[in-house]
Amino acid sequence: METGYIYKIERKKTHQIYIGQTIDFKKRMLEHKKGLIQHIDRAIQKYGSEAFSYEILEEVPLNELNKREIYYIKKYNTYNNKKHYNKHPGGDALGKLTEEHKNKLSETLKDFFSKNPHKHPQLEITKSDVSKITYEYMKNDLNSQEISTKYNICDRTIRKIINGNHILNKTNLKYLKLRYMAKTIIYYYEEMNLSYNDISQKLNRSRQFIGKIVNRKHPISKDLGVPKPKSPYKLSKKDYLKIFNDYYDGKYNQDELAEKYNISDGMVSKIINGKHSITKNLEIPTNINKKHNNSPLSKKEYLGIYNKYKSGEYTQQELMTEYKIGQKTVYNIIKGKHWSTQHLKAIKTTGENHCDTKITKSEGIKIYEEYKTGNYTQTELGEKYNTSQKVVSRIVNGKHWSTKHLKSPVKDKKCQISKESCLEIYNKYKNNNYSQQKLADEYNISRNTVSKIINAKHPSTKKLKKLNKNNNRKLTKKKCLEIYNEYNNNKCTQKELGEKYEISPRTISRIINHKHWSTKKLDK
């Protein structure tokens, strides 16, 4: 039998008391200490949590909680005596909050936290932490994940700070960093006359990114007002043929040809691959491997990367910095998708002993077991164990190396729906008695399951005919046109129309924006 608690909070100095009820005592006390809605919450914020004592008066069944709360409020006289903190006689006296009350509370809390952001209950960090994160991101060039591991702060919080969406930081650091990077690239290219390769090695950025900024193809270079560089001369037919021949003779690679003739990599690629109008009819030599010609590393070095990762002593990030290549290139090498490792087997799983493994075997099994209980969603487990939802999905479905020996968790029999219930849902929908949402609420299943049942995709309704969407139309064309006219004549808002006709705001939006079947042909 499920039980709850009647608790008492008392201010030690003045003996002012508050009586309340809860199912989870620890969680409720935290809410009181961090909240600002109730009178007792504000008192705790004012005098400090140490100025109060917290105790459980009685453990009672859930159906008797209201009665016992009323009893204890009367016993300690905490409602009639204005000295105490109870503002209601207990039980269900407060009821549900109205929309107006909710909006007022929301506005007051927003105003309070905008003036006092450091008092926000969900705040994990201080202003000094924000300045540290800003320094690490802007000066030391660390990404959000690296900062997260260094300071033991949630990756999501760091991304909010970087993007200027955090309560303590409203400036977009990502944009500022990009702007500074673009100015540096333009300075190196125009003032110091450095090549794309030299800038790439100095700033650890790809040639493609540098080319976009220099050639005013990146949005940030447009914001800075960078003039588009003009080519000193137009290429003649001889130049195009020379580029083609020089490339296949092995004299120059694509980057060098682009710099020599002051054209883009894309143009060089078109010329050498026979996609340009002048080199269309030329035969591409088969005795040379184009992939090798433009590679920054030799085949031995690529194989060295493969073997180092396989040994388990290096992470992908370490190999990227050591060989100065991109993450995609490293990934293709270790997965056997690169030209140098096509003959080798892909390194499918990192394993527990590999230094690139973020989740240990014991953690993987814990995640699997916790998901099986039904108390956590995949996203919640991802946040709890500081990993992505994709990894959690692979773990719980037995596709991760740590849970390959386990079966994917089957839902409880209570959650599964019987064949009789499926047929009932099918017939109710067919007879226009219920909408999909109502059926989902009535049978305590997801709307997706209802959709499968009525569309004959569920095992229990596979042999039946798929129901037409129009069978369940609540609205006639007349009603839809009434809604359309009422909105356009400024008689009602979308919300008011939804309540009036008992349909969702999404349907109202589709009607008035000419996306509904009834108003598609109307003039906008």
Residue 403 belongs to a domain: no
Query: Considering only 115-119, 198-202, 397-401, 407-411, which range has the smallest mean pLDDT?
Result: 407-411
Residue 444 belongs to a domain: yes
Residue 372 belongs to a domain: no
- Dist. CA 387–CA 345, nearest whole Å: 27
**Does one domain contain both 190 and 161?**
no
- Dist. CA 478–CA 12, nearest whole Å: 67
Three-class SS of residue 32?
A: helix
Maximum average pLDDT range among 90-99, 253-262, 451-460, 490-499: 451-460
Residue 395 belongs to a domain: no
- Dist. CA 36–CA 109, nearest whole Å: 8
**Does one domain contain both 72 and 49?**
yes
- Dist. CA 165–CA 156, nearest whole Å: 11
- Dist. CA 441–CA 153, nearest whole Å: 39
Residues 6+ apart with CB under 8 A from 328: none
Structure confidence by residue, pLDDT tens digits, 314-346: 888 888 888 888 888 888 888 888 877 878 888
**Does one domain contain both 85 and 10?**
yes
Residues 6+ apart with CB under 8 A from 384: 376
Q: Which residue type is seen at 126?
A: T
Domain final residue, candidates 274, 293, 312: 293
**Does one domain contain both 432 and 503?**
no
**Does one domain contain both 83 and 43?**
yes
pTM exceeds 0.85 = no
Q: Please give the pLDDT value at position 500.
A: 84
- Dist. CA 73–CA 189, nearest whole Å: 77
**Does one domain contain both 202 and 259?**
no
Structural domain total, the chain: 6
**Does one domain contain both 468 and 478?**
no
- Dist. CA 83–CA 179, nearest whole Å: 59
Cross-strand bridge partners of residue 17: 10
Domain final residue, candidates 50, 85, 100: 100
User: For 56, phi and psi rounded to 5 degrees?
Assistant: -90, 125
Residues 6+ apart with CB under 8 A from 270: 276, 279
Structure confidence by residue, pLDDT tens digits, 278-287: 888 888 775 4
Structure confidence by residue, pLDDT tens digits, 360-418: 888 888 888 888 887 777 878 888 888 887 888 888 888 887 888 777 654 443 445 78
- Dist. CA 211–CA 222, nearest whole Å: 13
| Angle 508-513-517 from CA coordinates, rounded to 5° | 75
For the residues 490-499, what does the mean pLDDT come to?
82
User: Is residue 11 very low, low, confident or very high in pLDDT (cuts 50, 70, 90)?
Assistant: very high
The helix-helix angle for 477-488 and 505-512 (nearest 10°) equals 80
Tokens of 258: 């682009």
171 or 396, higher pLDDT: 396
- Dist. CA 506–CA 517, nearest whole Å: 14
Q: Please give the pLDDT value at position 509.
A: 86
Distances (CA, A) of 269 to 121, 198, 264, 266, 335: 56, 21, 9, 5, 26
**Does one domain contain both 8 and 76?**
yes
**How many Cβ atoms from other residues are within 10 Å of residue 149's Cβ?**
12
**Does one domain contain both 84 and 137?**
no
pLDDT of residue 289 exceeding 50: no
User: For 377, phi and psi rounded to 5 degrees?
Assistant: -90, 170
For the residues 86-95, what does the mean pLDDT come to?
70
Residue 213 belongs to a domain: yes
Residue 300 belongs to a domain: no
The answer to whether residues 207 and 200 touch, using CB atoms and an 8 Å cutoff, is yes
| CA contacts within 13 A on the Cβ side of 320 | 13
The answer to whether residues 498 and 508 touch, using CB atoms and an 8 Å cutoff, is yes
For the residues 229-254, what does the mean pLDDT come to?
76
Q: Please give the pLDDT value at position 76.
A: 92
Q: Please give the pLDDT value at position 332.
A: 87
**Does one domain contain both 78 and 148?**
no
User: For 9, phi and psi rounded to 5 degrees?
Assistant: -115, 125
pLDDT of residue 56 exceeding 90: yes
The answer to whether residues 508 and 470 touch, using CB atoms and an 8 Å cutoff, is no
Query: Considering only 73-82, 231-240, 418-427, 497-506, which range has the smallest mean pLDDT?
Result: 231-240
Q: Which residue type is seen at 191?
A: E
Q: Please give the pLDDT value at position 437.
A: 79
Q: Please give the pLDDT value at position 414.
A: 41
- Dist. CA 511–CA 494, nearest whole Å: 10
Domain final residue, candidates 203, 224, 245: 224
| CA contacts within 13 A on the Cβ side of 326 | 11
- Dist. CA 200–CA 180, nearest whole Å: 15
**Does one domain contain both 50 and 91?**
yes
- Dist. CA 495–CA 503, nearest whole Å: 10
Residue 192 belongs to a domain: yes
- Dist. CA 192–CA 186, nearest whole Å: 9
pLDDT of residue 267 exceeding 70: yes
Structure confidence by residue, pLDDT tens digits, 428-482: 888 876 778 788 878 878 778 888 898 888 888 888 888 765 545 567 888 888 8
Return the closest-CA partner of residue 279 out of 230, 246, 325: 246
Q: Please give the pLDDT value at position 98.
A: 62
Return the closest-CA partner of residue 155 out of 164, 169, 166, 145: 145
Average pLDDT, the chain: 80
- The boundaries of the domain holding residue 515 are 473-524
For the residues 246-260, what does the mean pLDDT come to?
79
Cross-strand bridge partners of residue 6: 21, 58
User: For 449, phi and psi rounded to 5 degrees?
Assistant: -65, -40
Q: What share of the chain is helix, strand, coil (3-state, %, to 5)?
A: 55, 5, 40
Tokens of 46: 């004012």
Maximum average pLDDT range among 4-13, 248-257, 298-307: 4-13
Residues 6+ apart with CB under 8 A from 435: 472, 474
Altogether, the residues listed in the chain come to a count of 524
Residue 32 belongs to a domain: yes
User: Is residue 5 very low, low, confident or very high in pLDDT (cuts 50, 70, 90)?
Assistant: very high
Q: Please give the pLDDT value at position 474.
A: 61
**Does one domain contain both 479 and 445?**
no
pLDDT of residue 504 exceeding 90: no
